[in-house]
Amino acid sequence: MSEPAGEPISAAEPAGEPISAAEPAGEPISAAEPASEPISAAEHERPAGLRWWKEVAYIAVFYVVYTFIRNQFGSEAGGADIAFDHARQVIDVERALGTYHEETVQELFLGSRPFIQFWNLYYGTFHFVVTIAAILWLFLRQPGRYVRWRSTLAATTALALIGYATYPLAPPRLLPELGYVDTLRTYGGLWSFDDGAMEAVSNQYAAMPSLHFAWALWCSFVFFPAARRPWAKALVVAYPLATLFAIVVTANHFWLDAAGGALVLAGGWLAGSWWDRMRASTRRSPGDVAGAPS
């Protein structure tokens, strides 16, 4: 008589299956992956009219125009007195904030020539190489995100021109009387601002905001959603921090220049998002907009 009475206990074992079935649900990372599939599919969907040769032409023309406009307010155009006055203003602000330590940071590492040469190389190459790699990766792997982030980068770069035009700023390396060392000239790199050709095509007072930092931060936002492993996420986060160190240890920027770079990136994101929404609204019929996923 006791055995049949015990059957409910045995029969309860299958009822306990939900506990076992819940185990996969206890893995947030694994369980979240299927839920992200619709977003992933949208990211991989290529927008209509997106062609590589058009993008190459857009980027090339934009960069030529940007360089031309930037250099109209550069060191070759004069304005040295204003640029150095602004440098003193930035130093005064940083002193008031308690953040004026750029010369101290640089001095800590000047004793290692290979170390400084590496950061000179980093400063002159990563700025372009990583940004171009991010653009190509977006276009090839996540074209659904490409247009928004390309527009953000373009708007960020355009907004930086306002800073260069209205606030020419001498970088720390042009202030040797304050203890700064021009590492590109003293330690060597791929190029130097003292080269005749480089001096003619560059704006040495285009320091506020720092596009090196703005572009590095942009790359971090581009790559971070695709970084699945902790080491990859750490690498993506470390890139703008390494760039911040590079622009300071080479005396090419103040801390506040990097803050300015973050601000123009935020403005670039807002402007780029607005522009893309405007373009999308002109290309869709009212029915398409109503039926579009949120």
CA dist., res. 251 & res. 245, Å (int): 10
Closest CA to 74 of 195, 189, 170, 211: 170
Token couple for 174: 């042009």
- Among 83-97, 116-130, 273-287, the minimum mean pLDDT is found in 273-287
Indicate if the pLDDT at residue 122 is higher than 90: yes
47 pLDDT band (50/70/90 cuts)?
low
Q: In the structure, how many helices (H) and strands (E) does the chain have?
A: 15, 0
- Among 40-54, 135-149, 188-202, 258-272, the minimum mean pLDDT is found in 188-202
Token couple for 255: 């801390």
Token couple for 148: 């928004």
Torsion sign (Cα): 45, 51, 52, 58: negative
Predicted TM-score (pTM) of the model is 0.76
Token couple for 164: 């260069």
CA dist., res. 258 & res. 85, Å (int): 19
Indicate if the pLDDT at residue 185 is higher than 50: yes
Domain parsing of the chain, residue ranges? 51-283
pLDDT for 10-34, tens place per residue?
Answer: 444 444 444 444 444 444 444 333 3
What is the CB-side half-sphere exposure of residue 19 using CA atoms within 13 A?
Answer: 5
Cα 236 from chain centre: 10
Closest CA to 171 of 213, 208, 127: 208
